[in-house]
Structure 1
Amino acid sequence: MPFARRRSAAIAALTALCFALTAAVPAQAERPGKNQDRRLQRLLESLVRQAGGPPGAIAVFRIDGRTVVVRAGAGDLQTGRLPQIDDHMRVASVAKTFSGAVALALVSRGRLSLDDTIAKRLPQLPADWGKVTLRQLLQHTSGLPDYSRSPEFVKIIQNDPHHRFDSRRLLHFVADQPLEFTPGTQYAYSNSDNIAVALMAEAATHERYESLLARLVYAPLGLRATSLPSGFTLPRPYLHGYAPTPTGFEDVSTEFGNSGSWASGGIVSTPGDLSRFIRAYAGGRLVAPWVRRQQLTFVDGSSEPPGPGRNEAGLAIFRYTTRCGVVYGHTGNTPGYTQLAVGTPDGRRSLTFSVNAQITPTIAPAVFPRMRAIEEAFVCALVRGDV
Structure 2
Amino acid sequence: MRHPGIRFTALAVAGIAGLSLAMVGTAAASGGPDRQAIIRALDLMTTTGAAGAQVRIAADGQEFTARSGVARLGSPRGVPVNGRFRIASVTKTFTATVLLQLAGEGRLALDDTVSRYLPGLLPDGDRITVRMLLQHSSGLYNYSDDLTGDPAELQRHWDPQDLVAIATAHPLNFPPGTASKYSNTDYIVVGLLVEHLTGRSWATAVRNRIIRPLGLHDTSLPGDRTTIPGPHAHGYTPRDGALVDVTAMNPSVGWAAGEIISTTADLDTFTAALFGGRLLTPAQLTNMTTLSPAGSAYGLGLSTNVLSCGVRVWGHTGDVPGYDTLLATTRDGRIRLQLSLTTAARQTPLQGYRQLVDEVFCG
Q: TM-score of the superposition, structure 1-length normalised?
A: 0.82
Distance 1:283 1:344, change over 3 A: farther
8 Å CA contact retained: 1:138, 1:315: yes
8 Å CA contact retained: 1:23, 1:248: no
Q: For 2:341, which of 355, 360, 375 is the aligned residue?
A: 355
| CA-to-aligned-CA distance 1:4-29 (integer Å, 9 cap, x gap) | x437xxxxxxxx9x96xx75343434
In structure 2, the partner of 1:196 is 189
Matched, 1:238 2:232: yes
The secondary structure found in structure 2 opposite 1:62 is strand
Q: For 1:314, which of 293, 299, 313 is the aligned residue?
A: 299
- 1:65-214 paired onto structure 2 within 5 Å: 65-150=61-146, 154=147, 157-214=150-207
Q: For 2:284, which of 277, 291, 307 is the aligned residue?
A: 291
Q: Distance in 1 between matches of 2:344 and 2:103?
A: 34
CA offset at residue 248 of structure 1? 7.3
| CA-to-aligned-CA distance 1:239-261 (integer Å, 9 cap, x gap) | 2112247987432211x211111
| CA-to-aligned-CA distance 1:34-84 (integer Å, 9 cap, x gap) | 74521211221122123xx21111110123443200211112335422222
CA offset at residue 155 of structure 1? 5.7
What percent identity do the matched residue pairs reach?
Answer: 33
Root-mean-square deviation (CA, aligned residues, Å) is 2.8
In the alignment, residue 303 of structure 2 is paired with which amino acid? Answer: F
Q: Distance in 2 between matches of 1:284 and 1:327?
A: 17
Q: Distance in 2 between matches of 1:275 and 1:104?
A: 20
The secondary structure found in structure 2 opposite 1:127 is coil
Distance 1:48 1:176, change over 3 A: closer
Distance 1:145 1:23, change over 3 A: closer
Distance 1:117 1:239, change over 3 A: same
Q: Which moved more, 1:185-194 or 1:270-279?
A: 270-279
Distance 1:285 1:157, change over 3 A: farther
Whose relative contact order is higher, 1 or 2, with alpha carbons under 8 Å and at least 6 apart? 2
Q: Distance in 1 between matches of 2:344 and 2:336?
A: 22
Q: Distance in 2 between matches of 1:32 and 1:115?
A: 45
Matched, 1:338 2:338: no
Q: Distance in 2 between matches of 1:299 and 1:379?
A: 27
In structure 2, the partner of 1:10 is none
In the alignment, residue 297 of structure 2 is paired with which amino acid? Answer: E
| CA-to-aligned-CA distance 1:180-222 (integer Å, 9 cap, x gap) | 2111110100000000111111111212111110111112222
Aligned residues: 351
Q: Distance in 1 between matches of 2:20 and 2:294?
A: 35
Distance 1:37 1:372, change over 3 A: closer
Q: Which moved more, 1:81-90 or 1:350-359?
A: 350-359
Distance 1:315 1:32, change over 3 A: closer
Following superposition, which runs of at least 4 residues in structure 1 exceed 4 angstroms of deviation? 31-34, 155-158, 244-249
Matched, 1:328 2:314: yes
| CA-to-aligned-CA distance 1:96-117 (integer Å, 9 cap, x gap) | 1111111111111111211121
Distance 1:48 1:32, change over 3 A: farther
